[in-house]
A and B are shown apart, each in its own frame.
Chain A
């Protein structure tokens, strides 16, 4: 069998959840007749009808707010950001009404919504289509943030996100939609709050998420051949972090590198390193290191774009240097 492509794994998750619960619905730009810009909702319009798979006008803040109101009155909407970057226009609704409303209402309302779509740096899409909103949204209270990275976790996490009673920002990556993998059979779920230990090792912990998982895997292979034993952890949950798994790994390796695609300033790694410093300082043999994208708008030129984001060889060099210091 050829395996399942990641976008189809997401599609299966949404299809199965819509079949299971008639309150689950999808809304966004071109999600219906067109099937979604990356075909994650292909054919669902025909199957479930125009209200359950709602093609909206291009009005991000308003249809996101509409999802909030629908969730407050009993539905479980999935909002697609055609590109997650466009949801900058929905910052108001995501922050104030998805994130904070349950609290300001003193528990009157819950907001079971999923906001999902393609994020990350693609191939020469230019600065505006190469945003990493997980960092921008990180400070908003009351929302969970997850990033999928394989067809298997994409499906299991999507199902968990739909069933969760909290708002979940669900990041897919434009360059991972065509990854292929055999999926576990049956109705499986991946926990939203659990990091994935991709590879166990003893020398250094690498923390990463989304597409950078695959860059790290390349680096790990090289490092392994040079005798460096990496423990590779895919964070999965960007908010809250699975500090239990992270701390256990650092207690074992005493060294940590964070590899991320967001920009360094105010990034995911910035918060993570702060928590590691607070919680694991005595376990560290050397300063933790962040490998992040440059603090610049992503350039169009392919060569410059590659220089903007972290490449596998930089991960290899950093790990080797860290070990070579002999601490």
Chain B
């Protein structure tokens, strides 16, 4: 695709990417990726609808446009074995990690059946069962937690002698977060101790209203890895097969004891920062440019062109996903509120 000048330097980077190999997938995996991305997209669309209908509250940050990253990275990892750490923009990471849509939707409705028992909300999704270390509402604060989880993998292997300990942790965060100290501190420690971790930057160009190149002295975030002697890679974050390919390479490094990778995924969010954001700063040309690179459409065309799947199969998946999302809403609407008598439960480990 020809890069339009008006879409700006972030967009222009897509045409100068150091070429890297996309993942090869069979039809089964291709369909799984499509399913996961479709679920992410349609779940979020339903959230917007529910928010405007007054069913969910607070700050709700949607993931539309960035699906190829959650699906590309988590889909290449081992669910319930590897660990995942997110931010406040966490619904889709939770879904990709395997947290049932019912549990995520219930959490957004504040119900007892939510994955955080209605105590967390949109920005605090957790599931120990699905190895979701959490959604974190302060930028950057999830990165050290992810580092700790990667430390545990190494500790089990090298201090406790468990040779099967090969879990890798993926930490997801945004471009704006890469200007925070915890990012640099953790890159340093991860490389120093060769921890099995993927730092996945979802560079969507914006940190609320702060454009990336107004906030950072070196906009190519993946290059910052080299200051720590770490492997870094930039990838088209709208292309799930490219993301998956990069994730596979990083996972191989991590599992073989070579340590961390900084993976910068170039992407864009299709909605405002949160559902409360009037989204007045971003230019129409820029939005148009990225709309044309919709990651779902991209995967669809890749899969069909390669003859791996038929269009009917994809439409069928969309129907099933719509059902799943409606089911999640029905379930969440009917679910119980937390018991007022349990207001102070979960403060201490004993209750």
Chain A contact residues, CB within 8 Å of chain B:
22, 25, 49, 51-52, 56-57, 59, 61-75, 77, 92-93, 96-97, 101-112, 141-142, 164-166
Q: Say how far B141's CB is from chain A's closest CB, in angstroms.
A: 6
Contact A22 B160 (CB under 8 A): yes
Q: Say how far A166's CB is from chain B's closest CB, in angstroms.
A: 5
Expressed in whole angstroms, the Cα–Cα distance for A62 and B151 within the complex equals 13
Total residues of chain B contacting the partner, CB 8 A: 50
Say which residue of B114, B137, B144, B185 sits within 8 Å of A69 (CB atoms): B144
Contact B126 A166 (CB under 8 A): no
Contact B347 A109 (CB under 8 A): no
Contact A61 B185 (CB under 8 A): yes
Q: Which of A61, A93, A142 has the most CB of B within 10 A?
A: A61
Contact B148 A109 (CB under 8 A): no
Contact A57 B189 (CB under 8 A): yes
**Which residues of A are found within 8 Å of B124, using beta-carbon distances?**
104-105
Say which residue of B141, B154, B181, B189 sits within 8 Å of A97 (CB atoms): B141
Contact code string B148-191 (vs A, CB < 8 Å = 1, else 0): 11111111101110000000010000000000011001101100
Contact A142 B347 (CB under 8 A): yes
25 A–B contacts, CB within 8 A, in A order: A25-B155, A51-B154, A51-B159, A52-B155, A57-B185, A61-B185, A62-B186, A64-B144, A69-B133, A70-B155, A72-B148, A73-B83, A93-B141, A96-B136, A104-B126, A105-B116, A105-B128, A108-B126, A109-B133, A109-B134, A110-B349, A112-B349, A142-B348, A164-B349, A166-B348
With known contacts A57-B192, A103-B347, A107-B117, A72–B147 Cβ distance under 8 A:
no
Contact A108 B160 (CB under 8 A): no
Contact A102 B152 (CB under 8 A): no
Contact B182 A65 (CB under 8 A): yes
Say which residue of B127, B136, B152, B349 sits within 8 Å of A73 (CB atoms): B152
Contact code string B186-201 (vs A, CB < 8 Å = 1, else 0): 1011001000000000
Q: Say how far A59's CB is from chain B's closest CB, in angstroms.
A: 4
**Which residues of A are found within 8 Å of B312, using beta-carbon distances?**
none
Q: Say how far A74's CB is from chain B's closest CB, in angstroms.
A: 6
Contact A69 B148 (CB under 8 A): yes
Q: Is B115 an interface residue (CB 8 A)?
A: yes
With known contacts A93-B144, A102-B346, A141-B347, A73–B185 Cβ distance under 8 A:
no
Expressed in whole angstroms, the Cα–Cα distance for A42 and B120 within the complex equals 41
Say which residue of A101, A103, A165 sits within 8 Å of B350 (CB atoms): A165
Q: Say how far A270's CB is from chain B's closest CB, in angstroms.
A: 22
Count of A-B contacts judged by CB separation below 8 Å: 151
Q: Say how far A164's CB is from chain B's closest CB, in angstroms.
A: 8
**Which residues of A are found within 8 Å of B149, using beta-carbon distances?**
69-70, 72-73
Contact B138 A107 (CB under 8 A): no
Contact A61 B144 (CB under 8 A): yes
Q: Of residues 300 to 351 in B, which have CB atoms within 8 Å of A's CB atoms?
A: 345-350
Contact A62 B182 (CB under 8 A): yes
Q: Quick one: closest A residue to B116, CB to CB?
A: A106
Say which residue of B134, B158, B159, B182 sits within 8 Å of A105 (CB atoms): B134
Q: Is B145 an interface residue (CB 8 A)?
A: yes
Q: Is B118 an interface residue (CB 8 A)?
A: yes
Contact B144 A63 (CB under 8 A): yes
Q: Say how far A27's CB is from chain B's closest CB, in angstroms.
A: 9
Q: Quick one: closest A residue to B192, CB to CB?
A: A57
Contact B117 A106 (CB under 8 A): yes
Q: Is B39 an interface residue (CB 8 A)?
A: no
Q: Is B79 an interface residue (CB 8 A)?
A: no
**Which residues of A are found within 8 Å of B114, using beta-carbon distances?**
106
Contact B145 A69 (CB under 8 A): yes
Expressed in whole angstroms, the Cα–Cα distance for A104 and B145 within the complex equals 15
Expressed in whole angstroms, the Cα–Cα distance for A166 and B158 within the complex equals 26
Given contacts A52-B155, A166-B349, 15 further A-B contacts (CB under 8 A): A51-B158, A51-B159, A57-B192, A62-B147, A62-B186, A65-B143, A65-B182, A66-B147, A68-B145, A69-B169, A73-B133, A97-B141, A104-B124, A108-B128, A141-B347
**Which residues of B are found within 8 Å of A51, using beta-carbon distances?**
154-155, 158-159
**Which residues of B are found within 8 Å of A49, using beta-carbon distances?**
159
Contact B147 A65 (CB under 8 A): yes
Q: Of residues 103 to 138 in B, which have CB atoms within 8 Å of A's CB atoms?
A: 114-120, 124, 126-128, 133-134, 136-138
